[in-house]
A and B are shown apart, each in its own frame.
Chain A
């Protein structure tokens, strides 16, 4: 499973520069956390990772292969790299839960039997069998999030890119999702990239932490080096009432 490399990436929305000269390496099998305040460009960066957005300048490499934005390359990329959107409303496309989870596998050209297996496995993994009969439009936000994660896993990507995976999940579901992430990482060796402003979450499982500000990568390193009071304060990322003594693993 190859890693991801970003070289000199810049991106603008309507002439406003959002990402500026980003250079990043995501090593395979590593859990990287991208921290940053609201509107600093985390989501925009993640959407580049499976070709949903195309950089104005700069390149992204998956393994040794440069992403070229033609159909076959994008297809392979999107199969290998699963992106969880920040807002599950934007990710659900089918009217029923199993159908939605099956959209990806169907597109990979699997047989009905295989698709069904994948759906069932995903439902089991996320412990949402009870949603199997439900329609997607009246799920709660947290339930939608889980359905989206299940839809990702059903495509069996080698890299998971998760945009705020814990937002709107209750503590129990959060713990479950963290366990799932850990499992995927440790047992199946999947590369994990997570954008969040949840420092506690990052300190629990990160192998590497990146801090973004105004579309630039400002800090990058091990959680011990980055998740320090002075650094977090500098980027106004220290949550109110967080006890810094407890933060390290």
Chain B
């Protein structure tokens, strides 16, 4: 079965490394860029981050179609919240919507702020997607261990990773099963199916977490996750700082320079 979640997971696991970066470098670069991005105020710099990160991710082997699919997820949450800002910020009215006698004014400042927020949020997400979609979880965890992140945090990270993918798989399986029972053949049935889908997904996620807990218990994990990386061959890590890393850092420096000017 090749669901989207499986495709992405296969990809991060395949360690196809078009960029020649170690995971430490990737973590450093994406977090650093994320912080710069937060402080940026000019639309063109933010756009630059978004475009650069997106093309990096796609260049490192993610299919464009899949990338935009995962980008839809944050958009789904962003658009409604940003739409509200357009009505409540500023004084210059651009146009007015008449909704059942209530006058809703869309403001110039609101539109500007909303756009910047939207772009900045997307650029931030693209930084993190670059990290998530190109780095296997084990490598990330190993790096986190190296920088002495507390164990609890790492374990929660690993478990949530496993649960998210399990959940995505379950969602795909449920959808298939409902499809095979003609669950989406009419609007009425679709509504029924969607309610079934959500409730069983919820129950499933709880059930999965209980079962993962059992599986870990059965192998003597009393609260302590084994380093999932202990068995990995140490891959010949590029000691010399690669050219690509220098290029990426230069990009960050350019951003900072743009900001200062």
**Would you call B226 and A107 a contact (CB within 8 A)?**
yes
Residues A95 and B13 in contact, CB atoms below 8 Å apart:
yes
Q: Is the CB of A78 within 8 A of B215?
A: no
Q: Which of B137, B230, B231 has the most CB of A within 10 A?
A: B231
Contact, CB under 8 Å: A52 / B217: yes
Name the CB-closest residue of A to B217: A52
Given contacts A52-B218, A104-B220, contact A95 B228 (CB under 8 A): yes
* A108 close to B (CB within 8 Å): yes
A18 interfacial by beta-carbon distance below 8 Å: no
- Closest residue of chain B to A108 (Cβ to Cβ) is B220
Of the residues B9, B13, B137, B220, contact of A75 by C-beta under 8 Å: B220
- Residue with the highest number of chain B CB atoms closer than 10 Å, among A50, A103, A135: A103
The answer to whether A41 has its CB under 8 Å from any CB of chain B is no
Across the interface, which residues of A come within 8 angstroms of B9, CB to CB? 95, 135, 137
Contact between chains at B220 and A78 (CB < 8 Å): yes
Interface status of B214 (Cβ within 8 A of chain A): yes
Of all chain B residues, the one with the shortest Cβ separation from A107 is: B220
In the complex the two chains form, is A98's CB within 8 Å of B6's CB? no
- The range of chain B's interface size is 20 to 34
Query: Quick check: A98 and B231 within 8 Å, CB to CB?
Result: yes
Q: Are A106 and B227 in contact (CB under 8 A)?
A: yes
Once the chains are docked, how many angstroms separate the CA of A90 from the CA of B204?
12
| B215 lies within 8 A of A115 (CB) | no
Q: Is the CB of A107 within 8 A of B217?
A: no
Task: Using C-beta atoms within 8 Å of the partner chain, give the interface range for chain A.
Answer: 35 or more
Query: With the chains together, A151 CA to B224 CA distance in Å?
Result: 18
Q: For B137, B162, B212, B221, which residue has the most chain A Cβ atoms within 10 angstroms?
A: B221
* Bound Cα distance A85, B9 (Å): 25
What CA separation (Å) do A85 and B6 show in the bound complex?
23
Q: Are A91 and B215 in contact (CB under 8 A)?
A: yes
| A102 pairs with B138, CB closer than 8 A | no
With contacts A95-B137, A115-B231, A119-B231 taken as known, whether A103 is within 8 angstroms of B6 at the C-beta atoms is no
- Rounded to whole Å, the gap between the CB of B131 and the closest CB of chain A is 17
A99 contacts the other chain (Cβ, under 8 Å)? Answer: yes
Which residues does chain A contribute within 8 Å of B198, judged by CB atoms? none
- Measured between beta carbons, the chain B residues less than 8 angstroms from A95 are 9, 13, 136-138, 228
Most buried by B among A74, A75, A91, A106: A106
- Chain B 193-217 near chain A by CB (<8 Å), digits 1 or 0: 0000000000000000001101111
Which residues in A have their C-beta under 8 angstroms from that of B146? Answer: none
A48 to chain B, nearest CB (A): 12
B177 within 8 A of A: no
| B186 at interface by CB-CB < 8 Å | no
Does B244 touch A at the CB level, under 8 Å? no
Bound complex: CA A108 to CA B232 (Å): 18
Give Cα A93–Cα B215 distance, bound, in whole angstroms. 7
The residues of B that contact A51 with a CB separation of less than 8 Å are 217
Contacts of A108 in B (CB 8 A): 220
Across the interface, A102 reaches (CB within 8 A) one of B10, B218, B231, namely B231
Q: How far is the CB of A25 from chain B (nearest CB, A)?
A: 23
In the complex, the answer to whether A107 meets B218 with C-beta atoms within 8 Å is: no
Contacts of A94 in B (CB 8 A): 228
A99 near B219: Cβ-Cβ < 8 Å:
no
CB contact list, A50-75 vs B, under 8 A: 50-52, 71, 74-75
- Bound together, the chains give a CA A115 to CA B221 distance in angstroms of 15
By Cβ-Cβ distance, the 3 closest A-B pairs, closest first, are: A106-B226, A104-B219, A107-B220
Known: A83-B218, A91-B215, A93-B212. 4 other contacts (CB 8 A): A52-B214, A78-B218, A102-B230, A106-B231
Q: List 22 A-B contacts (CB under 8 A).
A: A51-B217, A78-B219, A78-B220, A79-B220, A82-B218, A85-B215, A93-B215, A95-B137, A98-B231, A103-B216, A106-B230, A107-B221, A107-B224, A112-B230, A112-B231, A115-B230, A116-B231, A119-B231, A135-B9, A137-B6, A137-B9, A137-B165
